[in-house]
Amino acid sequence: MKKILTAGLIFFLLSSGLIIRADEGMWIPMLIEKYNIKLMQEKGFKLSAEDIYSVNKACMKDAVLSFGGGCTGELLSDKGLLITNHHCGFSQIQQHSSLEHDYITNGFWAMSEKEELTNPGLTVTFLKRMEDVTNNVLEGVKPEMSAAEKDKKIRENITIIQQKAIEGTGYSASVRPFFMGNQYFLFVNETFRDVRFVGAPPSAIGNFGGDTDNWTWPRHTGDFSLFRVYADKNNQPADYSPDNVPYKPLYFFPISLKGVKEGDFTMVFGYPGTTNEYVPSYYIDMIKNYVNPKTIELRTEKLNVIDKAMAADPLVRIKYSSKKVNISNSWKKWIGEIQGLEKMNTISKKQEYESRLTEWINSDPERKSKYGNLLPQYKNLYSELKDFTLVNNYTNDAFISNGAEAVGFARNLIAVATRFEKGVTESEIAGIKKSLVNTATTFYKNYDYETDRKLFVSVMKLYGDNLGPQWQAPVYLSLKKSCAGDFEALSNKIYPKSVFTDQARFISFVNNLTARSVSKLTNDPVYSLAKSITDFTAEKIRDQLQNLNLRIQTLNTDYMKAQMEFESSRLFYPDANSTLRVAYGTIQGYYSRDAVYFRHYSTLNGIMEKDNPEVYDYDVPDKLKQLFLSKDFGPYTQDGDIPVCFIANNHTTGGNSGSPVINAEGQLIGINFDRAWEGVASDMAFNPAQSRNISLDIRYALFIIDKFAGAGYLLNEMQIIK
């Protein structure tokens, strides 16, 4: 009976909601008809909810895809042509680049389908349908269960639901929690595995402004790349084959050349990653004041090392471009997030809200019995969690995620050593060798010895400075003692000899792989450090971290329920969780600070104003300058100039990169790619006055494809509306 009441409670609270915060929210497509369509139409939307999401007819959802698992893309033609952000396709652009074919600097355009480049491992996923499965997920979950018991039962139920949903199909399924575990939805998906690179502008267009302009407005970045989805001759997903043909989608977006003006309706349809809008003040305090400041310091040092290496060597620039993007994007976001949370007094506002909530809880004995201990328990758990979270995140950033790279790579041998300890056959050894060679080929293609050595020196020092000895791996402490903290000297001693810092040495080691050679890995300090870090985090950090997060997750479910009862007239939207969502709003400029107002769009003229041949990220290509001077703009103009980007107040986050921005007629007008600096804290606190999503104007993308790249044949595939 309890599970039915829980689902009913959610339905009641949603359906009775009278208050929707202006233009805030990431809404569930399946529920647009019930809760959002009237407001969307009042704002100017001219279509129906079924035009957005339907299982009975082709609709917009059939043209929106999850690109590579971390971004969004959308289909532009009936031949599987898709567009996403340049930064979303950047790892593919980088993988195809070399000194001879520098597609990062010079761009790439396939002038026919035969010239399109394959991308092993790249996938795109479409949502086929979704379904509320709350009752099924919570079947057998009882109030008296511990957090671990509840989690186990829910996981068991989810496995059964997923398996049943895809029986007899080639689809995949996932069940995701909403409203902090008060509601669950099933998603049935179709994934395509043959996705080919069609084109991208040079970095001086696709990443114009680099880190300097990132997360800021005005932007002048042509942040797009083109790919094509392929299927077998039956239009079904298939591994790469030269016999595959362009995918014929159920739906693709028509493209508008009509442009945008202040106040126009906009809708963003994509896969936002993670938001935390309903967390208690203790979470904000942990992230803002404890975890992120130290991680920002670590990433700043890593970026300093990489920037210097990239500036000194064109090959290093190619090798480390993607790594730099991965490091810098979150680094700058975290800086802006801290400033935004501070400016909005978010912690104080959360505390004031918690005070009112506590008063409401304590005013009723039954509510006090259900919810009275929530905030005190949060306080105790977060006081423990913050140390484990910092250590886990910091260790990962220092040694695994683009930190000391050789140390991170050496972790691949830990599992191999364990297998040899248990005994392996000759055929198993052959398989291990092949796997290691393949892994090494990928790793060393983008590895530079001297850059990694300098990264090692930097992260070893900061790891020791910012984490107490009780949080440091034993081999690290031993190495630090042996070199008296002189990590420069240590690196010069161990890097020239390590198996992991040179491709030839590593391949030689793999070719002569035996139980004896594996046992000698403990003599390699790089391997010993990698194993010590791995063992230490597994034994001292991960279990405790998982346990604390599980206990907090249980509190979150009740805390969310309490908030929804407390604000019974408010229509709540669920936090983002990498599932398909709709955000809607209007084109709007904003006041950045006193007397400084930013209009809603930028132009090609602004690119020319920023032109600086001495700076890689601002060196405007000569051909673009020529097009500007000759005014050879084609049909892509607005007020005599080329529009480049625009802003609106749609609620977006990471994962929305590449999402289609759609006008009132359901036509594509832009590609979402960023947020403005003043509102970057919107993952935890949406600021209506300044939270703005930044989008590439589709007219600039078409201008680049047509006039700059000379790939106008691609436009012939599209449905372009003037």
**Secondary structure string (H, E, C) spanning 455-512:** HHHHHHHHHHHHCCHHHCCHHHHHHHHHCCCCHHHHHHHHCCCCCCCCHHHHHHHHHC
pLDDT in tens, 322-367: 999 999 999 999 999 999 999 999 999 999 999 999 999 999 999 9
pLDDT in tens, 627-662: 999 999 999 999 999 999 999 999 999 999 999 999
User: What is the reported pLDDT for 468?
Assistant: 95
Q: Which stretch of DSSP H or E encloses residue 649?
A: none
pLDDT higher than threshold 70 for residue 457: yes
What are the structural domain ranges in the chain?
24-123+193-275+576-722, 128-192, 291-554
The interaxial angle of helices 543-566 and 346-362, nearest 10 deg, is 70
User: What is the reported pLDDT for 398?
Assistant: 97
User: What is the reported pLDDT for 23?
Assistant: 81
Report yes or no: 35 and 699 within 8 Å, Cβ to Cβ. no
DSSP-derived letter for residue 711 is: -
Structure tokens at 454: 């300098």
User: Is residue 13 very low, low, confident or very high in pLDDT (cuts 50, 70, 90)?
Assistant: very low
Report yes or no: 655 and 270 within 8 Å, Cβ to Cβ. yes
User: Is residue 21 very low, low, confident or very high in pLDDT (cuts 50, 70, 90)?
Assistant: low
Structure tokens at 349: 């506002």
User: What is the reported pLDDT for 156?
Assistant: 97
Q: What is the mean pLDDT of residues 420-443?
A: 93
| CA 115/CA 121 separation, integer angstroms | 19
| CA 184/CA 178 separation, integer angstroms | 6
Q: What is the mean pLDDT of residues 58-71?
A: 97
Report yes or no: 135 and 125 within 8 Å, Cβ to Cβ. no
pLDDT in tens, 656-705: 999 999 999 999 999 999 999 999 999 999 999 999 999 999 999 999 99
pLDDT higher than threshold 60 for residue 1: no
User: What is the reported pLDDT for 22?
Assistant: 59
325: nearest Cα among 703, 697, 673, 606: 673
User: What is the reported pLDDT for 268?
Assistant: 98
User: What is the reported pLDDT for 720?
Assistant: 98
| CA 116 distance to own-chain centroid | 26
How large a percentage of the chain has pLDDT more than 90?
A: 95
| CA 512/CA 301 separation, integer angstroms | 37
Residues 6+ apart with CB under 8 A from 152: none
Identify whether 218 is preceded by a cis peptide bond (ω within 30 of 0).
yes
Catalytic residues: 87, 223, 657
pTM (predicted TM-score): 0.93
Residues 6+ apart with CB under 8 A from 648: 266, 585, 586, 587, 588, 600, 661, 692, 693, 695
Measured from the Cβ of residue 380, the count of other Cβ atoms closer than 10 Å reads: 11
Instruction: Please tell us whether the domain made up of 24-123+193-275+576-722 is placed in CATH 2.170.120.12.
Output: no
pLDDT in tens, 271-328: 999 999 999 999 999 999 999 999 999 999 999 999 999 999 999 999 999 999 999 9
Mean residue pLDDT of the chain comes to: 95
pLDDT in tens, 193-209: 999 999 999 999 999 99
pLDDT in tens, 532-583: 999 999 999 999 999 999 999 999 999 999 999 999 999 999 999 999 999 9
| CA 323/CA 301 separation, integer angstroms | 14
Q: Which residues of 381-401 are buried (b: 16+ CB within 10 A; e: fewer)?
A: bbeebbbbbbbbbbbebbbbb
| CA 180/CA 213 separation, integer angstroms | 35
| CA 181/CA 497 separation, integer angstroms | 51
Residues 6+ apart with CB under 8 A from 434: none
58: nearest Cα among 4, 128, 116: 128
Three-state secondary structure string covering 7-34: HHHHHHHHHCCCECCCCCCCECHHHHHH
Q: What is the mean pLDDT of residues 599-625?
A: 96
Q: What is the mean pLDDT of residues 58-83?
A: 98
Q: What are phi and psi of 266, to 5 degrees?
A: -140, 150
